[in-house]
Amino acid sequence: MKKFGLFLLKNNIHLMTLIFVGWAVWAACDWQELALVQKLVMGMYAWLIVHEYEEGYKGRFLDLMAGRLLGLDWRALTPGVTHIAQAVYITVLFSLALIFPDQLWLTFGALILGLFEGFVHNMGIFMFRLRGVSPGWWTAVLMCAYAIWAIVVINRHIDYDGIQWLWGVLYFIGGFICLEVAVQKLLGSSIERVRSSAQRFLKERFGK
């Protein structure tokens, strides 16, 4: 059982992708019947899956964050532990948006993630003084552009109450906090350690 658990942990990105493929097959078979927001969410979902592979292909962005912000040696961590919480978060976030297309705040939560990824990867270049782009930067920028386009499409074709944006933002923030808490637990760290490590890193980075 332990070996099976380690297998799932190590291959969580592939299992996440398999779930996405299931959604993609469903969407392709029923495309004409899908709501506009479901089509837009599927597009963002596809971009995010590609992004996860680019992010891990070279440089390992999550390991970069763990190493430089927390001082952890990612090579000593159990394979997959830095990504499992993110895989669950992504799967739940997009599955709920697809299952409940009438709840627009769920869609906004998924689109905000695309905007957030673009911001984080650009900040990563600046904060870590990278010589090139951060791992996953190309798809993060394209995903951010897609999210902006999707938001414009929704505003043009769907009438909705502006409060949906407030719920969407709160939903994203709440989910992201839960994600960060889960990640720190899996890494054997804590939010307090993240705070103190981040303060030290920022002081070293901008203090001079």
DSSP string covering 40-108, please? Answer: HHHHHHHHHHHHHHHHHHSS-HHHHHHHHHH---GGGSPTTTTTHHHHHHHHHHHHHHHH-TT-HHHHH
Q: Is the pLDDT of residue 132 over 70?
A: no
Predicted TM-score of the model (pTM):
0.83
Cα angle vertex 73, ends 69, 76, to 5°? 145
Q: What is the pLDDT of residues 50-99, one digit of tens each?
A: 988 887 655 465 555 655 555 555 555 555 566 788 889 999 999 999 99
Per-residue pLDDT averaged across 5-28, rounded? Answer: 87
Q: What is the pLDDT of residues 172-195, one digit of tens each?
A: 999 988 887 787 776 666 666 666
Q: Is the pLDDT of residue 1 over 80?
A: no
The two most distant CA atoms of the chain are separated, in Å, by 58
Whether the CA torsion 150, 14, 176, 57 is positive or negative: it is: negative
Number of domains in the chain: 1
Q: What is the pLDDT of residues 139-160, one digit of tens each?
A: 889 999 999 999 999 999 999 9
DSSP string, 119-146: HHHHHHHHHTT-SSPPTTHHHHHHHHHH
* Structural domain harbouring 197: 2-206
